[in-house]
């Protein structure tokens, strides 16, 4: 709800797996005046596969849950909207969003963030995040008028580490809107 209170839908509702990264269809990075190539509209799929294949079971059950990652049960992806849903991942994510506001945290899985080398001094870097449609993020029965449901971002912070010769500092950008 707009005030952060709990939802009371007529039928089960949940969100896409790895919600933090599923919120953005494209992550565009610009270094100086050069835009790095990115896979347009594929960010949620890339993030999902990266989380599925790169993290072990322990990390998926602890660390990744801060971005609302809950492993879906194989073979039950199509039964997500059933009343007695056998997909535990759908149910776990739904329990979080039904409670109202959810705090999410996690890394951006973009190539530039995985580099071992540092960027040159005074090189401007711009990161632009483009939102996904609410129909992609919210999993609701079509008869329950899913257009009523959408995920809103109340506050977002991006933390970047800047290294100087003397010390390492952590700086952050903040969006409130």
What's residue 177's pLDDT? 46
Query: Does a structural domain hold residue 74?
Result: yes
User: Is 67 part of a structural domain of the chain?
Assistant: yes
CA distance 172 to 169: 10
Interatomic CA distance for residues 136 and 133, integer angstroms: 6
What is the residue whose two structure tokens read 């609701």? 140
pLDDT digits (tens, 9 = 90+) for 58-99: 998 898 999 999 988 877 766 666 666 778 888 888 888 877
pLDDT in the model for residue 30: 92
In a domain, 164, yes or no: no
The answer to whether residue 3 sits within a structural domain is no
159 within some domain: no
Residue that has been written with the tokens 């997500």 in this structure: 80
Total residue length of the chain: 177
Domain that holds residue 43: 13-152
For residue range 14-44, what is the model confidence (pLDDT) as tens digits?
A: 888 899 989 999 989 999 899 988 777 888 9
What pLDDT band is residue 146 in, cutting at 50, 70 and 90? very low
173 domain residue, yes or no: no
* Residue 160, in any domain of the structure: no
110 pLDDT above the threshold of 50: yes
> What pLDDT is stored for residue 2 in this prediction?
54
Q: pTM to 2 decimals?
A: 0.76
Mark residue 142 as left, alpha or beta (left: phi above 0; alpha: psi -120 to 50; beta: remaining).
Answer: alpha
Q: Report if residue 8 sits inside a domain.
A: no
Ramachandran class of 145: left when φ > 0, alpha when ψ lies in -120 to 50, beta otherwise:
left
Q: How many domains does the chain have?
A: 1
């Amino acid at each position: 709800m707009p005030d952060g209170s709990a939802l009371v839908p007529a039928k089960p509702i949940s969100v896409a797996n790895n919600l933090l990264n599923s919120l953005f269809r494209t992550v565009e990075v610009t270094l100086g005046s050069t835009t790095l190539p990115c896979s347009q509209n594929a960010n949620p799929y890339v993030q999902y596969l990266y989380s599925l294949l790169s993290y072990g079971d322990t990390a998926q059950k602890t660390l990744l849950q801060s971005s609302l990652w809950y492993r879906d049960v194989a073979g039950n992806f199509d039964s997500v909207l059933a009343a007695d849903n056998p997909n535990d991942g759908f149910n776990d994510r739904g329990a979080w969003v039904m409670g109202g506001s959810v705090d999410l945290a996690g890394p951006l899985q973009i190539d530039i963030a995985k580099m071992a080398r540092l960027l040159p001094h005074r090189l401007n870097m711009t990161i632009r995040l483009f939102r996904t449609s609410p129909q992609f993020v919210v999993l609701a029965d079509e008869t329950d008028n899913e257009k009523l449901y959408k995920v809103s971002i109340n506050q977002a912070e991006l933390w970047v580490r800047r290294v100087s010769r003397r010390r390492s500092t952590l700086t952050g950008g903040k969006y409130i809107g």
